[in-house]
Amino acid sequence: MAQYQRITFIIPCRNNLKYLKQAVNSIEDCYGDTHDIVILDDASTDGTWEWLNGLNKSYIKIYRNGSNQRVGHTILYDIGIRIAETNIVSILHSDMIVTQNYVKNMLKHLEPLSVVSATRIEPPLHPPGPEKYVENFGMEPEEFDKSAFQKFVYEKEYVMEDKTTQGIFAPWMLFKEDFVCIGGHDLLFAPMELEDSDLFNRFHLQQYKLIQSRDAFVYHMTCRGSRFKDGIEIEKVIDLPDGTKWYKPKDSEEYTVLRQNKFREWWRKWHTDVLHDELMMPIVPNRYETSFVVYNCSQQLLEILEPWCDHIYVDCDYGQYTSLEENKSMFKISEKIHKIGDLMRGNVQILFDGTKLKNEHYTQFIKNIPFIVQQTDSVGSFEWDIFQIHILNLQTKDMVLPFFKNIF
């Protein structure tokens, strides 16, 4: 891939103006007007839209969600990519600072049907991992140590020159047409949380190359939107095995509520947790049409089990649960829950007594059913502890395109 080509940075934002200013300034400081920027404001109330309107620069395009309700990154990512006029786009969070060689060191690995991720440098607000560097060059723009950061990047670019690993996370870059082909983000995860994890799973299933450029760097102030606010509040300090500390921030109330709900949507769609290896390469088992038959079921148990299957047959009243949960979900919960004795559906049918279900059954079996069926790889019936399992068909569900279509 040629090491220079005009790209478009796609930057959604919401009520984090000082971080956004720093992100845009870093692009302009490094590249001037040689690349395009699309900034998408999600109904901010902190002066973001007024600042954007004052930019008046030909290489910057702006978009605003004009409603009073946030629509989320899920939708804004896709609108931004639709607006982009270049063949290559790079998703950038509004609390990220790019470096002089970011574009060049991403482009040299980019090819059709691939996604290239950069290497993040972050303050210790999340646990460390082999896919990033944890170095504190400032937790707020006012305290950012630019010279120390640039020195660190210069040294790491030399040591890690041309090195790559496999994995995917923000910030990432790809050809616009490859994003369109995958169908964009799934509206299921609007306004936020897990939208990228879902997309990354689908890239993986479609056999895109997922490449991390180990010499393309950004500094990431870390989740400065709905999750962590300006003047970050440290909830507790955790000592890590390597002798370093993790300053665990306090999640915002909005983020906490959305996270709980969107994980339930994730389970309904994928029937697993969000899974990846240590370098953030997605782990995606086969997806089967699965039914539970739960004798002696309770309302509490129904709430726990329903997201992990396509159909659930119970002997308890489920009307109240159905109406409450359907108000929070894009899935038709009323079409998932049935009385025991109704016509059975599902290629994988699992029967058990709810009174015998223990926590270890949930963690070891319920959350791993796709792996267990995939490993069994045969039609037939067998028992696993308290569960009677009937595999009628090993047909898998096509998970490449989004369940709920976005603008693509």
Please give the C-alpha separations between residue 19 and each of 12, 48, 62, 150, 346, in angstroms, as whole numbers.
Answer: 12, 11, 17, 18, 48
Shared domain check, 316 and 206: no
Q: Is residue 129 part of a domain?
A: yes
Q: Is residue 278 part of a domain?
A: no
Counting the structural domains of the chain, the total is 2
| Residue that terminates a domain, selected from 207, 236, 270 | 270
Shared domain check, 262 and 299: no
Shared domain check, 257 and 215: yes
Q: CATH no. for residue 47? A: 3.90.550.10
pLDDT at 225: 74
Q: Is residue 68 part of a domain?
A: yes
Nearest one of 344, 154, 137, 349 to 222, comparing CA atoms? 137
pLDDT at 3: 59
Shared domain check, 262 and 140: yes
Phi-psi region of 275 (alpha: psi -120 to 50; beta: other; left: phi over 0): beta
Q: Is residue 150 part of a domain?
A: yes
Shared domain check, 111 and 144: yes
Shared domain check, 214 and 66: yes
Shared domain check, 350 and 253: no
CA atoms in the 13 A half-sphere facing the CB of 300: 3
CA gap 364, 360 in Å, rounded: 6
Shared domain check, 361 and 257: no
Shared domain check, 229 and 91: yes
Residues of the chain with pLDDT under 70: 1-3
Query: Which residues form the domain of 158?
Result: 8-270
What 142-147 contacts at long range (C-beta under 8 Å, 24+ apart), as own/partner pairs, is: 144/22, 144/97, 144/219
Q: What distance separates the 2 farthest-apart alpha carbons in the chain?
A: 70
Shared domain check, 172 and 62: yes
Q: Is residue 402 part of a domain?
A: no
Nearest one of 163, 164, 173 to 116, comparing CA atoms? 173
Shared domain check, 116 and 18: yes
CA gap 172, 119 in Å, rounded: 10
The whole model's pTM is what? 0.95
| Residue that terminates a domain, selected from 236, 270, 304 | 270
Shared domain check, 298 and 211: no
Would you say 269 and 336 are in contact if contact means Cβ atoms under 8 Å apart?
no
Q: Is residue 64 part of a domain?
A: yes
Would you say 221 and 140 are in contact if contact means Cβ atoms under 8 Å apart?
yes
CA gap 195, 199 in Å, rounded: 6
pLDDT at 2: 53
Nearest one of 346, 347, 69, 73 to 196, comparing CA atoms? 73
